[in-house]
């Protein structure tokens, strides 16, 4: 079995990449797709009974319907919650594309779909020669952009979209509504709807919030339609 892969990036750190990646895994599983999460590089975590673990990677592991060992889901775990190239330098670790691709290939052999979650935003450096977007371009993974709906999202979304399309395919974007509610959010969504060079796939409400009628929701999204 060779899986399709979808790479989840965001307009910034803290915009809900993990939340959306988890929802996509749950949606895929509900639609009968065997799926697994992949967090190639994570920074920061906590000590557990099984060892030092990253919360985002654990969420992806729990949401998938294909069981895989943590070390395969998250091949690089850096202890300090900083930019990956800085954390790696502190620990004397070299973040290498070959190790990431090898772990991905092992996961892809076990599932129909691999949901790959990035670290930070699209251009975050991995080492002195490679950034995350370049690695995704090398892998030719199509991308879903998570747009955190807050002040500045228009600029961040449009710049990110252009940068992604320079390296690989931008399948679409998902608007993640962040608390507190963004002033004039409907107007911001409408602006992005007309200016983004890829379709709006879904709007994810904040916890306990109801969306205005008419915006697409993730539970109506066909995951197979996104799989190359």
Is 39 a residue of the active site?
yes
From the candidates 17, 39, 94, 129, give the one annotated as an active-site residue.
39
The CATH number of whichever domain residue 91 belongs to comes to 3.40.50.300
Q: Enter the DSSP assignment of 180.
A: S
- pLDDT confidence of residue 211: 78
| pLDDT tens per residue across all 228 residues of the chain | 578 999 999 999 999 999 999 999 999 999 999 999 999 999 999 999 999 999 999 999 999 999 999 999 999 999 999 999 999 999 999 999 999 999 999 999 999 999 999 998 999 999 999 999 999 999 999 999 999 999 999 999 999 999 999 999 999 999 999 999 899 999 999 999 999 999 999 999 998 887 777 899 999 999 999 998
Domain of residue 154: give its range: 4-226
pTM for the full predicted model: 0.96
3-state secondary structure 9-31: EECCCCCCHHHHHHHHHHHHHHC
Q: Enter the DSSP assignment of 85.
A: H
Q: How far is CA 200 from CA 165, 175, 206, 219, 227, in A?
A: 16, 8, 17, 14, 16
- pLDDT confidence of residue 15: 96
The domain tally of the chain equals 1
- pLDDT confidence of residue 1: 52
Q: The tokens 């200016």 sit on which residue?
A: 195
Q: Distance from CA of residue 220 to its chain's centroid?
A: 19
Rounded Cα–Cα distance for residues 48 and 65 (Å): 22
Q: Could you tell me the two tokens for 147?
A: 């747009």
What residues contact residue 210 under an 8 Å CB cut-off, 6+ apart?
none
């Amino acid at each position: 079995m060779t899986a399709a892969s979808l790479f989840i990036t965001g307009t910034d750190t803290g915009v809900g990449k993990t939340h959306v990646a988890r929802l996509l895994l749950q949606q895929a599983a509900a639609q009968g797709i065997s799926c697994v999460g992949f967090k190639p590089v994570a920074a920061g975590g906590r000590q557990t009974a099984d060892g030092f673990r990253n919360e985002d990677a654990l969420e992806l592991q729990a949401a998938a319907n294909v069981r895989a060992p943590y070390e395969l889901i998250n091949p690089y775990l850096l202890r300090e919650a900083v930019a990956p190239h800085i954390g790696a330098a502190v620990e004397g670790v070299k973040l290498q594309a070959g190790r990431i691709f090898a772990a991905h290939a092992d996961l892809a052999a076990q599932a129909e779909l691999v949901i790959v979650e990035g670290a930070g935003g699209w251009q975050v450096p991995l080492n002195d020669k490679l950034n995350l977007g370049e690695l995704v371009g090398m892998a030719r993974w199509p991308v879903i952009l998570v747009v955190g709906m807050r002040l500045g999202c228009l600029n961040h979304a449009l710049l990110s979209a252009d940068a992604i399309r320079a390296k690989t395919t931008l399948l679409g974007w998902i608007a993640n509504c962040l608390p507190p509610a963004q002033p004039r959010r409907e107007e911001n969504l409408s602006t992005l709807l007309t200016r983004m060079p890829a379709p709006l796939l879904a709007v994810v409400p904040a916890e306990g919030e109801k969306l205005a009628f008419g915006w697409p929701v993730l539970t109506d999204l066909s995951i197979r339609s996104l799989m190359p």
